[in-house]
């Protein structure tokens, strides 16, 4: 008996990739790493990350999360982007997202 | 990125929504680490992963462009088995909402698309957090799955146009740990033509008025499928109430007390009476208010008191907890057009009762606003002194130390809609907010040519039987 075929649309629709990730950094020494607090004790987590990174990369320049508005408030996002440019961040660590 | 355990898909969706590939270098840490005084050893143990993410991680996707998934073919020994297989596939892929769907075949979707004159691939907006692209075609797919009809499509399109407006914050609505859902009120002749309920049980499902169920469910599928808001993966709504078919109903224009000076919700929103319009609010909770008929000044005052207790009691915690600096309707907000704190929904005779006693809609709104003020002692107990100062500074003189505080900067942030049949008595208070948003957005409904509309309505008469008149006439 011949099977019946039903062809249906995938309901998830199209997505568009408009941005690509930057190349990774070869070494963190001499680079500027910015930290953005996304809440959920992010301020403590990022302070510890600062300490641990500085141990391994003595000349890394860390801009702490206290220099940025919290990222949970999306009205602050343009301000964060301004500061990222101002500090010439080579990399950003966000935590604790969720 | 350092993320809380279980939020990997949330973050992936957020990246996709921003236009990046759906991936990111991450260190996942236990949820228990995200409380004050917690043990941070997962960060010590994971520092190498953080360094790897900064120095060595490579994304799998390295090309820009739009990616549309192909159609899917499902087989079965007969049509019934194939339809069952479609349903099983959609459940496995998390493309369904848990209820049975009608297969979105090209034929069914094309039939739904006869309800709009818009091009099928016109971009309406991105649905967050995943950032899937909403088009008339994709909304027709959702409506087809939800058992909808072509004449419903313009209302669904207008609703999605409303929620993708930035001030609606639908990326919060569809991802937050709060429990918001879009509540849609329709004004204009279209509501009656497509059998949208404004009467008994208008906030629920009703076989005589199937439009609300289908449009609301289709909207839910839009948020799930195109927006990726799958519970526990991208939508972290902890209980996720009222999400079966959202809440889509019409204002009761049939019994509305126009002659007594009242104006429709659509007019409140700045549109002429008779405009086909959707107004969408980010509802956070729905409270039943058991109240009496408004027939005398004493009963009017009692209703104002009872409604205001519901409004005031529900207002305090969300307002205190969530002020993300947005121009919202809650305490301390900057009032903007469309700021909504919540919506009172009462039946036509309640409105008529107030109107007959000389209360304009604005009088009632102001009475709710005044009577729902929070006593100063309560304010002091829930807000920090910094917060109190911040709210007083932003409040334009509305909030003062030692005085009771209203729930919003202006009374107009309390919306009023008339629906639920002709009788008086009980009401609903729909509170907006939490982390969901505080702005009502209205959009005009774009209809196809009259000849097309007439044909669709005529077909609906044949398919569904005569228009169910009793609820419209109140007889």
Alpha helices in chain A (DSSP H): 42-56, 77-86
On whether both B335 and B364 belong to a single domain, the answer is yes
Q: What is the mean pLDDT of residues A10-14?
A: 95
pLDDT of B428 reads 92
The total number of structural domains that make up chain A:
1
Rounded Cα distance, A6 and B88, in Å: 13
Rounded CA-CA distance B464/B462 in Å is 6
- B131 contacts on A by Cβ (under 8 Å): 15-16
B99 and B131 housed in the same domain? no
Domain that holds residue A54: 39-92
Provide the domain limits for residue B39: 2-55
Q: What is the pLDDT of residues A55-72, one digit of tens each?
A: 999 999 999 999 988 665
Q: Which residue in chain B is spatially nearest to A90 when comparing CA positions?
A: B54
Looking at the fold, whether B79 and B130 belong to one and the same domain comes out as: no
Query: Residue A75: pLDDT band by 50, 70, 90 thresholds?
Result: low
What pLDDT is recorded for position A69?
Answer: 82
If you average pLDDT over every residue of chain A, what do you get? 90
**Any chain A CB within 8 A of the CB of B48?**
no
Query: Is B235 contained in some domain?
Result: yes
Task: Return the pLDDT at B243.
Answer: 72
Any domain includes B464: no
Within a domain: A32: no
Give yes or no: residues B99 and B172 share one domain: no
pLDDT of the residue at A74: 60
Q: Does some domain include residue A18?
A: no
Q: How far is B56 from chain A (nearest CA, A)?
A: 6
Question: Is B132 in the same domain as B99?
Answer: no
Residues B241 and B325 in one domain: yes
Same domain for B297 and B421, yes or no, is yes
Q: Which one of A2, A3, A17 makes the best mutation probe of the B interface by having the most chain B beta carbons within 10 Å? A: A17
Query: Would residue B249 count as lying in a domain?
Result: yes
Same-domain pairing of B136 and B6:
no
Predicted complex: ipTM over 0.95: no
Domain assignment present for A24: no
The answer to the question of residue B430 being in a domain is: yes
Residue B473 lies in a domain: no
Residue B238 within any structural domain of the chain: yes
pLDDT value of residue A71? 61
**Does residue B19 fall inside a structural domain?**
yes
Q: Does the distance separating the beta carbons of A40 and B36 come in below 8 Å? A: no
Q: Are residues B93 and B185 in the same domain?
A: no
Q: Is the Cβ of B377 closer than 8 Å to some Cβ of chain A? A: no
Residue A46 lies in a domain: yes
* Beta strands A91-95 and A32-37, pairing class: parallel
pTM assigned to the model? 0.85
**In chain B, residues 156-185 whose CB comes closer than 8 Å to chain A:** 169, 171
Does A60 fall in a domain? yes
Distances (CA, A) of A50 to A35, A38, B221, B244, B268: 9, 16, 43, 46, 53
Is B190 a domain residue? yes
pLDDT along chain B (475 residues), means of 10: 84 84 88 88 94 93 90 96 97 94 98 98 94 97 98 98 90 81 96 94 90 96 94 80 83 92 94 97 87 90 91 58 40 53 92 95 95 87 80 79 86 92 86 70 96 96 84 46
CA distance B231 to chain A (A): 14
Whether B208 and B249 share a structural domain: yes
Would residue A34 count as lying in a domain? no
Name the residue of chain B whose CA is nearest to A51's CA. B44
Backbone φ and ψ of B450, nearest 5°: -55, -40
Rounded to the nearest 10°, the torsion over CA B55, B61, B64, B65 is -160
Residues B324 and B222 in one domain: yes
Residues B40 and B92 both lie in one domain:
no
């Amino acid at each position: 008996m011949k099977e019946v075929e039903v062809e249906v649309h995938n309901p998830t629709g199209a997505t568009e990739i408009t941005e690509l990730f930057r190349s990774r950094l070869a070494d963190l020494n001499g680079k500027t790493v910015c930290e953005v607090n996304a809440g959920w004790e992010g301020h403590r987590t990022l302070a510890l990350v600062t300490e641990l990174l500085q141990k391994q990369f003595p000349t890394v320049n860390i801009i702490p999360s206290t220099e940025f508005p919290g990222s949970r408030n999306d009205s602050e996002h343009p301000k964060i982007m301004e500061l990222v440019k101002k500090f010439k961040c080579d990399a950003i660590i966000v935590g604790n997202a969720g | 990125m350092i993320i809380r355990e279980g939020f990997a898909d949330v973050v992936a969706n957020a990246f996709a929504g921003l236009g990046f590939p759906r991936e990111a270098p991450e260190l996942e840490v236990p949820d228990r680490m995200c409380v004050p005084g917690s043990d941070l050893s997962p960060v010590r143990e994971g520092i190498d992963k953080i360094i790897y993410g900064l120095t060595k991680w490579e994304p799998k996707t390295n090309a820009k462009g739009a990616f549309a998934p192909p159609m899917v073919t499902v087989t079965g020994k007969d049509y019934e088995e194939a339809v069952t297989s479609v349903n099983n596939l959609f459940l496995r892929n998390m493309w369904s909402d848990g209820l049975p769907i009608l297969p979105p075949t090209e034929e069914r979707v094309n039939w739904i698309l006869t309800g709009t004159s818009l091009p099928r691939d016109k971009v309406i907006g991105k649905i967050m957090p995943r950032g899937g692209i909403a088009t008339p075609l994709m909304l027709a797919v959702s409506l087809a799955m939800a058992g909808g009809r072509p004449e419903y499509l313009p209302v669904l399109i207008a609703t999605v146009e409303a929620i993708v407006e930035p001030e609606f914050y639908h990326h919060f609505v569809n991802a937050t740990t709060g429990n918001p859902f879009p509540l849609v009120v329709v004004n204009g002749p279209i509501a009656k033509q497509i059998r949208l309920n404004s009467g008994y049980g208008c906030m629920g499902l009703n076989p005589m008025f199937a439009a609300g169920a289908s449009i609301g469910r289709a909207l839910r599928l839009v948020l799930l499928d195109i927006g990726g808001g799958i519970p526990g993966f991208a939508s972290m709504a902890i209980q996720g109430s009222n999400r079966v078919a959202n809440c889509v109903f019409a204002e009761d224009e049939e019994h509305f007390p126009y002659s007594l000076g009242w104006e429709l919700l659509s007019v409140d929103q700045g549109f002429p009476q008779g405009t086909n319009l959707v107004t969408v609010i980010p509802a956070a909770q729905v409270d039943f208010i058991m109240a009496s008929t408004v027939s005398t000044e004493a009963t009017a005052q009692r209703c104002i008191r009872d409604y205001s207790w519901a409004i005031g009691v529900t207002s305090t915690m969300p307002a205190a907890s969530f002020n993300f600096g947005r121009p919202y309707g809650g305490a301390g907000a900057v009032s903007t057009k469309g700021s909504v704190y919540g919506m009172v929904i009462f039946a036509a005779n309640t409105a008529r009762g107030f109107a007959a006693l000389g209360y304009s809609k604005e009088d009632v709104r102001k009475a709710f606003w005044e009577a729902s003020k929070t006593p100063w002692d309560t304010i002091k107990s829930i807000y920090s002194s910094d917060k109190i100062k911040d709210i007083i500074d932003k409040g334009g003189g509305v909030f003062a130390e030692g005085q009771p505080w209203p729930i919003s900067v202006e009374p107009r942030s309390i919306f009023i809609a008339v629906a639920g049949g002709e009788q008086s008595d009980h009401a609903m208070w729909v509170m907006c907010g939490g982390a969901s948003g505080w702005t009502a957005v209205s959009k005009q409904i774009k209809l196809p040519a009259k000849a097309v509309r007439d044909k669709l309505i005529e077909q609906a008469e044949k398919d569904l039987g005569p228009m169910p008149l009793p609820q419209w006439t109140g007889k």
